Amino acid sequence: MGWVTDLHPTGSELDACVQCGLCLPVCPTFRLTGRETASPRGRLHAMSAVREGVSEVDDTFAGIIDFCLGCRACEPVCPGMVPYGRALEGARAEIVAQVPGRRRRKILVGSLIPSRLLLGVGTRALAMLQKLRLTGLIPRRFRRTVSGVRPLADRGGSVLGHAGGSGEAGTVKLLAGCIQDEWFRPVNQTAVRLLEMAGYRVEVPEGQTCCGALAAHDGQADAARRLAEQNMGAFAGADRVVATAAGCSAHLAGYEHWAPGGVAVSGKAMDVTVAVSRAIADGLLPTLEGDRGPIAIQDPCHLRHAQRVIAEPRHILSAAGYTVIETDPAGMCCGAAGLYFMTNPEASAELGDRKADQVRRAGVTRVASANPGCEMQLRAHLDSGYDVRHPIEWYLQALEGSG
């Protein structure tokens, strides 16, 4: 049958691959298995076979594509500049359109997670289980991942609807996010404080919704488009659209694929680490005196590989007085990868264990990570003696401590 959606991997995307194999050593799933079909080149070959009518979008194709983390570590090393992440989203949209059995995930990423009401109810239930120390009641397959959720009791209020700040440096509209707004509120609260201190007017529009990254990565194209179109209205008129989760900022930067006129948001999208790092470099936020000791850093794939943002989180931590300890110069995926812990639990756990070992070898218990999924994976695979937070939280803590 070939392709049936307008999002399918295009000929120019697939033909850009020159089959050189330079991407194989950086691909976590190839390194786990050694299988060509678990490599970027193999997956692009499988997409090309569908395009040429040699194979179908069937369970075998879905197995090859679904084992991919979507980490995009293959993109920076690719001499053909294959837009692998875009082609992957297209292949997943085809799987959803042609392979039956995706209904439960469609409800999860298209309706449950973006619903403030339903996610709020679920979060309050989880907060209660945490408080009563009853998280052991959570089904076994989710228990380890959920153990990485921050304590929810003291997370404070949502920043949704907030508007404040002088505006001397411009206007920022902040994406609160879905999971980020419920489970990682202190990161959003920190972003608002720092950006206002830097002289921005910060608005967190009520009319926004989930960015749609989870839906897009899962091939739920209708949901991804619906969410992007709602956000287009909410974020109109900003100088910058800032997100505090690396996965969200990477997705906003690709909105031209998901909404008519989406470049109006993608052209202004910025991860909060970039916004804060620039504010420090421009003297709008201070570089702090004093030595606050070592801190280990973990690079989220959607920051390091998808957006090529590497220096900025290190700059923020250095400006706060920390000595940054590298844990993984190759930036290998931690295995969180959206819903990967549900779809490929063994590979996710293996990669999480490897990432935790890298952090342990760094010999420090303070860890900086700029993405909620990575933070949860690190917390779930490290013991409670480790303190994992967003780089901007470490910066604000140092700022407050310095008076």
Which residues here bind ligand SF4, judged by CB under 6 A? 17-23, 26-29, 40-41, 43-44, 68-74, 77-80, 82, 84
Please work out, in degrees rounded to the nearest 5, the angle formed at the alpha carbon of residue 258 by the alpha carbons of 253 and 260. 105
Output the smallest distance, CB 61 to ligand SF4, in A: 15
Residue closer to ligand SF4 by CB (options 277, 369) is: 369
Amino acid code (one letter) for 175: L
Residue closer to ligand SF4 by CB (options 84, 395) is: 84
Residue closer to ligand SF4 by CB (options 38, 398) is: 38
Output the smallest distance, CB 301 to ligand SF4, in A: 7
Q: What is the DSSP letter of 330?
A: T
Output the smallest distance, CB 380 to ligand SF4, in A: 20
Output the smallest distance, CB 344 to ligand SF4, in A: 10
- Measure Cα distances from 22 to 19, 40, 272, 301 in Å: 8, 10, 31, 18
Residue closer to ligand SF4 by CB (options 83, 165) is: 83
3-class state of residue 159 by DSSP: coil
Give Cα 374 distance to the centre of its chain. Answer: 8
Output the smallest distance, CB 64 to ligand SF4, in A: 10
Residue closer to ligand SF4 by CB (options 7, 64) is: 64
Residue closer to ligand SF4 by CB (options 63, 293) is: 63
Residue closer to ligand SF4 by CB (options 163, 349) is: 349
Closest CA to 190 of 296, 305, 320, 294: 320
Residue closer to ligand SF4 by CB (options 21, 207) is: 21
Report CA dihedral (354, 355, 356, 357) to the nearest 10 degrees.
50
Output the smallest distance, CB 371 to ligand SF4, in A: 15
Closest CA to 234 of 265, 213, 199, 194: 265
Amino acid code (one letter) for 167: G
- Measure Cα distances from 192 to 80, 98, 159, 203, 273 in Å: 40, 43, 8, 9, 13
Output the smallest distance, CB 273 to ligand SF4, in A: 21
* Distance between CA atoms of residues 219 and 5, nearest Å: 11
Residue 387's DSSP bridge partners are 366
Q: What is the DSSP letter of 66?
A: H
Residue closer to ligand SF4 by CB (options 18, 263) is: 18
Give Cα 348 distance to the centre of its chain. Answer: 15
In the structure encoding, which two tokens stand for residue 260, read together? 């008519």
* Distance between CA atoms of residues 117 and 328, nearest Å: 38
In which element (H, E) is residue 269 found? Answer: strand 269-271
* Distance between CA atoms of residues 195 and 276, nearest Å: 7
Residue closer to ligand SF4 by CB (options 46, 178) is: 46
Amino acid code (one letter) for 346: E
* Distance between CA atoms of residues 46 and 5, nearest Å: 17
Q: Per 3-state DSSP, what percentage of the chain is helix, strand, and coil (rounded to 5)? A: 50, 10, 40
A 10 A CB-CB count for 266 gives 19
Output the smallest distance, CB 142 to ligand SF4, in A: 22
Output the smallest distance, CB 86 to ligand SF4, in A: 11
Output the smallest distance, CB 92 to ligand SF4, in A: 11
Phi, psi of 203 (to 5 degrees): -120, 140
In the structure encoding, which two tokens stand for residue 279, read together? 């504010």
Output the smallest distance, CB 78 to ligand SF4, in A: 3
Residue closer to ligand SF4 by CB (options 79, 161) is: 79
